[in-house]
Structure 1
Amino acid sequence: MADVNRGKRPLSPFMIGPYYRPQLTSITSILTRITGNALIVAALLIVWWLLAAATSAEYFAVADGVLRSWFGKLVLFGSIWAVWYHFLAGLRHLYYDSGRGLDIPTAEKLGWGVIFGSVILTLFTVTIL
């Protein structure tokens, strides 16, 4: 039988706007994926810096200049936050996998815990180092 309402319903739950209101759990889940991919980019930048150190002094000066610039410092600071966020989100998902914390109030508390925890741990890491 043909679906007569096909054109009147939303196509995807990710259609933010009139069809879907973003929730904290969905935003933190999407942010977990983004931080994982961003960490790959940061790792490539650090590998480039290490390879430049092994290549020549001139090439290392270029790579070191990029890493010590405001842009490089911003990327490294963001990487520290991304590591902590990704780690805490992974712990949250392990907790979910055990079948606990799946009710909405607990899931939202865990989401806020991941956000605030990652910020606090990032600031702690930056001030210690």
Structure 2
Amino acid sequence: MVYRLPLTGIVSITHRMTGVVLAMGLIVYVASFFIILQGEEAFLSLQAFLDYTLVRIGIWFFIYALFFHLCHGIRHLIWDVGEGFEKDSMDRNAIIELSLSFVLTLIFY
């Protein structure tokens, strides 16, 4: 039988990856403020760039990463009080956190 990473392991690794994505995205976000400070022409160029389909998809994934990271952080806070360590509870909570982060992304995008 081939080893298969459990859902909780995949979610844990994804949480770390979204942390890196959020750190890089924050740098891009701050850089956009410096671009805006260059004047109206730079602002209009940035606005046109943000209107590209691939950029919009990237922004959508960034927002998903933000909400996923938030939901998983809340899950860690629940673990800190000693709750949610049962096997079925861990899998159920992983599915809830994936679903909730997707729904929140749809609402806020």
Normalising by structure 2, what TM-score? 0.88
Q: CA deviation at 1:86?
A: 0.6
Shift of 1:59: 3.4
Q: 1:86 aligns with which of 54, 60, 69?
A: 69
Q: Give the counterpart of 2:18 among 35, 48, 51.
A: 35
1:68 to 21, 38, 51: 51
Equivalent residue runs for 1:17-32 within 5 Å: 18=2, 20-32=3-15
Unaligned runs of 5+ in 2: none
Consecutive unaligned residues in structure 1, runs of 5 or more: 1-16
Aligned residues: 109
Percent identical among aligned pairs is: 27
Rounded to whole Å, the distance in 1 between the matches of 2:8 and 2:14 is 10
CA distance in 1, matches of 2:22, 2:31: 14
SS of 1:22's equivalent in the other structure is coil
Which of 32, 42, 46 is equivalent to 2:29?
46
Look at both structures and tell me which one has the larger radius of gyration over its CA atoms.
Answer: 1
Q: Matched residues in 2 for 1:73 and 1:120: separation?
A: 17
The Cα shift of 1:74 comes to 1.2
* Aligned mates of 1:49, 1:23 — CA distance in 2: 39
> How much does 1:111 deviate?
0.3
Query: Per chain length, whose mean CA-contact separation is higher, i.e. which structure has more relative contact order (CA < 8 Å, sep 6+)?
Result: 2
Root-mean-square deviation (CA, aligned residues, Å) is 1.7
Q: Is the 8 A contact 1:67 1:73 kept in 2?
A: yes
Which amino acid is 1:42 matched to? G
Q: Post-superposition shift, 1:80? A: 1.3
